[in-house]
Structure 1
């Protein structure tokens, strides 16, 4: 008879998430998680078949905290989209290492599918349908995922911006000047501003 299970999926996911937060996604392995929970690597296979299933548990844990309920329907649709976007940013931004996993497992995450259903409903209210709605949803997902990665891996407040600002203006006049302004833009302004630009572009396509 197999030994009774003593480790829940949530506990396993928490251990894997700790590894990702501490060592990055590259540090995630069955061995590392087994060490985190205090068991042998082989014993861990009593709970998951492979790393793919382990990653799915991590995504379920992180995205499980995202509120997927529709914002108030009397709120203008761009503001409703902003609310939904910020819900993902607030949760995933605390664990930026999982972003690649979200891309890989998005079609299997019930919570992300529910979030997307709400967003598509808002886009429908705005007048987007068919192919335009497909592109609208993909653009929003691409923006949110990319913005989270940039905010944590290449922030405007980081050394990269300073290095660009120090470029010789005779050779890089636009980049050096732009980087100088970039140092005055905080992460919230960057996210909100980029999202507003994207939504304005969607609005311009509406009949």
Structure 2
């Protein structure tokens, strides 16, 4: 039997991500990734110990650019944080099935750590102390991940990506109106809704003793 060809971490992660994009997170397995690469399952164990290590490689691949170079230092801090939030939204939103992995591996993924460190550095420069920086970081992560889930994995009931019948407006008038205004799963308005929600969140953040209206 020929010796298995050498594989790089990027090749492993790319194959695992292809499996997830095609079959969902539940479809990720050592066997499925080995098949994607054209090697035996046993050969794959030469490179990774288990599915958990594959997951870490996938998260790093998806987030390789999100936590890259910090935004330029000139603009106001809210604008710089907005750039970082949009990077994360775009990176993970391109592969929405990966969302649970970003949460599972948020404390061990270098990609998540780099993104978080950059955000915390911007917040520190804006005058946020340790406690408020932590609250702001968690709030931003919660918003971005939640926005991705709503846009791609959990549209409003009765929405365009939902097979169920429209909501009865007499019983749920406000929710029915919200459905009409939503962009649906990955719809054209999803990005606009994300930006507007992010702007509202950022306007609510301020360092201790600072003005929420300041830059």
Q: Same fold (TM over 0.5)?
A: yes
Find the aligned partners of 1:113 and 1:102 in 2 and give their Cα distance: 11
**Higher helix share goes to which structure?**
1
Unaligned runs of 5+ in 1: none
Instruction: Give the CA RMSD over aligned residues.
Output: 2.4
The residue that corresponds to 1:159 in the other structure is 161
Alignment of 1:8-47 (within 5 A): 8-47=8-47
Post-superposition CA distance 1:87-114 (Å, at most 9, x none): 1122222111111111111222223212
Which aligned pairs between 1:86-101 and structure 2 lie closer than 5 A?
86-101=86-101
Match runs of 1:166-205 below 5 Å: 166-182=166-182, 186-203=189-206
Distance 1:69 1:183, change over 3 A: closer
How many aligned positions are there? Answer: 203
Could you state the TM-score of these two structures normalised by the residue count of structure 2?
0.84
CA distance in 1, matches of 2:121, 2:65: 21
Classify the secondary structure of the residue corresponding to 1:203: coil
CA distance 1:92–1:177, shift in 2 (3 Å): closer
In the alignment, structure 2 segments of 5+ residues that lack a partner are 211-215
CA distance in 2, matches of 1:85, 1:21: 22
Point out the more displaced range, 125-134 or 113-122.
125-134
Question: Which residue is 2:213 aligned to?
Answer: none
Deviations 1:19-77 (A, max 9, x none): 00100101101111111111221221111111111111111222113252221222011
